[in-house]
């Protein structure tokens, strides 16, 4: 299951109190280049332009500019409904804008503990399919589609057929090689290693967010779901 959502009212009050100071420093040194806290020239004009790569640890998926001075790391389980709430809500929209501007690079660790808790293989299958999508430079687009059509948590709905159907919605992803990777669990070692990385991280649930290696304080957790407060949470955590 995902982390509890509690504390939104307190979190928003706290972030409002520190709003001016957090944005004065921004997410990193590049934020000072423009008067409104954003770089003068966006790094990307669309999601399809995002740089995507696998970090040297073999499990962390990197999305965004290598020059970004702030790194937001998300721990997610694809079956987690609270992850879906974040990824289809305004918090994720706010994070996307920061990546587009080049202020932030996002990193993802894909957990699969819900398979053990609820039965089935959906989390593992989805993580494997996302790794296959990364090979084709379509991780972000496919990640978006899967969360937008997330099956009920208890249904174990990330079947091979469903994953391939969803891949058809991402231009340039569906093909024989991708299909074979999905059906054959080509990246099962990646899936296992990713779950171990999640377990070793100390993350109390999903979604969990870290900023430059610092876990977002529980008192601020609810504010990551709001576009207006997410940048403040990032700024506060980065400079804590």
Residue 35 above 70 pLDDT?
Answer: no
pLDDT of residue 2: 58
Please report whether residue 3 resides in a domain.
no
Residue 27 above 50 pLDDT?
Answer: no
Please report whether residue 167 resides in a domain.
no
Residue 44 above 60 pLDDT?
Answer: yes
* Mean pLDDT confidence for 200-215: 98
**DSSP string for residues in 93-152:** HHHHHHHHHTSEEEEEEEE-HHHHHH-SSHHHHHHHHHHHHHHTT-HHHHHHHHHHTPPP
pLDDT of residue 69: 94
Nearest of 201, 194, 125 to residue 166 by alpha carbon: 125
Please report whether residue 166 resides in a domain.
no
pLDDT of residue 237: 97
Q: What is the C-alpha to C-alpha distance for residues 114 and 227, in angstroms, rounded to an integer?
A: 27
pLDDT of residue 40: 60
Number of domains in the chain: 1
Provide the CATH number for the domain around residue 48.
3.40.30.10
- Please report, for residues 25, 94, 101, 206, the alpha-carbon distance to residue 46 in angstroms, rounded to integers and kept in the order given: 26, 14, 10, 27
Q: Which residue has the tokens 């008067």?
A: 35
pLDDT per position as a tens digit, 164-196: 999 999 999 999 999 999 999 999 999 999 999
Please report whether residue 108 resides in a domain.
yes
Instruction: Give me the domain span that covers residue 212.
Output: 8-124+190-238
* Mean pLDDT confidence for 127-147: 98
Q: What is the C-alpha to C-alpha distance for residues 200 and 77, in angstroms, rounded to an integer?
A: 15
Residue 81: φ, ψ to 5°: -70, -25
User: How far apart are the two ends of the chain, measured CA to CA in Å?
Assistant: 28
Please report whether residue 101 resides in a domain.
yes
Nearest of 109, 130, 28 to residue 62 by alpha carbon: 109
Please report whether residue 129 resides in a domain.
no
Q: What is the C-alpha to C-alpha distance for residues 216 and 223, in angstroms, rounded to an integer?
A: 10
Q: What is the C-alpha to C-alpha distance for residues 1 and 227, in angstroms, rounded to an integer?
A: 23
pLDDT band at residue 240 using 50, 70 and 90 as cut-offs: confident
Please report whether residue 30 resides in a domain.
yes
Of the listed ranges 11-15, 41-45, 153-157, 182-186, the least confidently predicted one is: 11-15
Q: Please enumerate in sequence order all residues whose Cβ is within 8 A of that of 60, keeping only pairs 6 or more positions apart, or say none.
A: 54, 73, 107, 108, 109, 197
pLDDT of residue 47: 95
pLDDT band at residue 9 using 50, 70 and 90 as cut-offs: very low
pLDDT per position as a tens digit, 47-80: 999 999 999 999 999 999 999 999 999 999 999 9
Please report whether residue 157 resides in a domain.
no
Of the listed ranges 26-30, 104-108, 137-141, 184-188, the least confidently predicted one is: 26-30
pLDDT band at residue 144 using 50, 70 and 90 as cut-offs: very high
């Amino acid at each position: 299951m995902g982390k509890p959502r509690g504390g939104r009212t307190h979190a928003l009050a706290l972030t409002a109190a520190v709003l001016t100071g957090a944005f004065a420093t921004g997410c990193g040194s590049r934020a000072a280049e423009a008067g409104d806290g954003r770089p003068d020239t966006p790094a990307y004009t669309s999601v399809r332009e995002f740089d995507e790569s696998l970090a040297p640890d073999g499990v962390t998926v990197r999305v965004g500019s290598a020059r970004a001075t702030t790194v937001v790391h998300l721990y997610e389980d694809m079956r987690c409904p609270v992850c879906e709430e974040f990824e289809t809500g305004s918090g994720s929209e706010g994070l996307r804008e920061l990546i587009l501007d080049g202020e932030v690079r996002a990193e993802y660790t894909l957990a699969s503990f819900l398979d053990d808790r609820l039965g089935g293989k959906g989390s593992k299958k989805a993580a494997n399919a996302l790794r296959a999508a990364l090979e084709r430079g379509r991780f972000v687009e496919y990640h978006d589609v899967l969360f937008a059509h997330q099956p009920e948590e208890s249904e174990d709905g990330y079947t091979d057929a469903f994953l391939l159907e969803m891949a058809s919605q991402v231009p340039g992803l569906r093909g024989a090689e991708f299909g074979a990777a999905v059906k054959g669990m080509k990246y099962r070692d990646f899936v296992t290693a990713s779950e171990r990385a999640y377990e070793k991280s100390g993350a109390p649930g999903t979604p969990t967010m870290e900023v430059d290696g610092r876990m977002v304080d529980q008192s601020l957790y609810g504010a990551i779901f709001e576009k207006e407060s997410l940048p403040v949470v990032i700024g506060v955590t980065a400079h804590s």
